[in-house]
Structure 1
């Protein structure tokens, strides 16, 4: 059996052994210029992996620069190290999402950093990473979280200040429930 292992290892091309660790490092380190997202600002976003080559814990340093000066620094846990830009407060300016986890049913969570246009900086929304599959609904100015589980359901949240607030309204999505009708009830109850 040991001779078999030696033969396999001898057949592995040297370039794979040399370049694979470099590929992994590059994949986990991103530097993004955001000129097309924030055209009047000179903002760059950096997400750098701080794990060791054999470490299974994917931690990252998130750094946001404006004019080469740090305006926000945070250490985050991210399963895949993905960054997205979407408006989550209805001001028409995209905010920053950093992927957090994906659970067993592929429900993704994110850290949210809202762009503060007045101060030209970002603020982290506390506990946002507890919201699964978040989507901002600009009509009702809330965040909808459609969760895939044993019984799928929609949960509603509101961003207030620097926190996300659970509106304590859950709509189950199953055959015995008219999902559209229940959603309309939620709108009537929550929008007064």
Structure 2
């Protein structure tokens, strides 16, 4: 087992950097249009490396930004802090790509989406993480600075199943498919997630219909906004 771990560490430390700098990555790049998947697969010895290259000019106003997602491990399932991919964010400077951010993550389907998650009118980067038995996906979230193009990873976001951004109330919420479907509520504070620990359920009766869901949802939002107003008042 120790030998296997050493071999894997050697692979990540040597082979993956080679991929990044052009030895195994296809030069063909795709222009992103909000959501992207379908990476190129290439063989390197006995290892299959899936590489997703994205030219992001259509998303970020001709800023010369590029994304590369390399999956170097196909057997892990993403639990117990397992990793299988390298996420790289680059910017073209004087005709050359310069790496400005890198993260080692897990992504089972290598799908990337672009959605504004902090109401600054600039789309942020979502990299698919894992999927549970009900196909509730989780994601790694990276907020992009509209001025500098720097990325900030939001810690804890990858634990939220089926996330969606409520731009009206500036909250992260979800709708999770389960034996009894449920919704919970979160807020992005700087670079981490705050959990309000409020859960409302849908499909609670024998017919699978919960007429009180919308009422409970509205009550939860009101409770959260009242709490936020109190915090802002104390700061003032």
- TM category (shorter chain) comes to 0.7 to 0.9
Point out where structure 1 has 5 or more consecutive residues left out of the alignment. Answer: 1-22
- Residues 112-151 of structure 1: per-residue CA shift (max 9 Å, x gap): 0001123321110001100111110100100111111121
Aligned to 2:79: none
- Identify the match of residue 171 of structure 1 among 200, 219, 228: 200
Q: Is the 8 A contact 1:86 1:96 kept in 2?
A: yes
- Residues 13-64 of structure 1: per-residue CA shift (max 9 Å, x gap): xxxxxxxxxx64398211100000001411000001212xxx5137111100
Find the residue that maps to 2:161 and give its secondary structure. coil
- Identify the match of residue 138 of structure 2 among 109, 124, 138: 109
Q: Is 1:44 matched with 2:44? A: no
Q: Is the 8 A contact 2:88 2:101 kept in 1?
A: yes
TM-score normalised by the chain length of structure 1: 0.82
Q: Is the 8 A contact 1:155 1:168 kept in 2?
A: yes
Q: Distance in 2 between matches of 1:47 and 1:124?
A: 15
Point out where structure 2 has 5 or more consecutive residues left out of the alignment. Answer: 1-39, 44-48, 77-82, 227-236
Q: Is 1:72 matched with 2:94? A: no
Please, what is the CA RMSD of the aligned residues?
1.7
Aligned to 1:81: 110
Q: Mapping of 1:130-169 within 5 angstroms?
A: 130-169=159-198
Q: Is 1:56 matched with 2:114? A: no
Q: Which runs of 4+ in 1 moved over 4 A?
A: none
Count residues with an aligned counterpart.
167
Find the residue that maps to 2:175 and give its secondary structure. strand
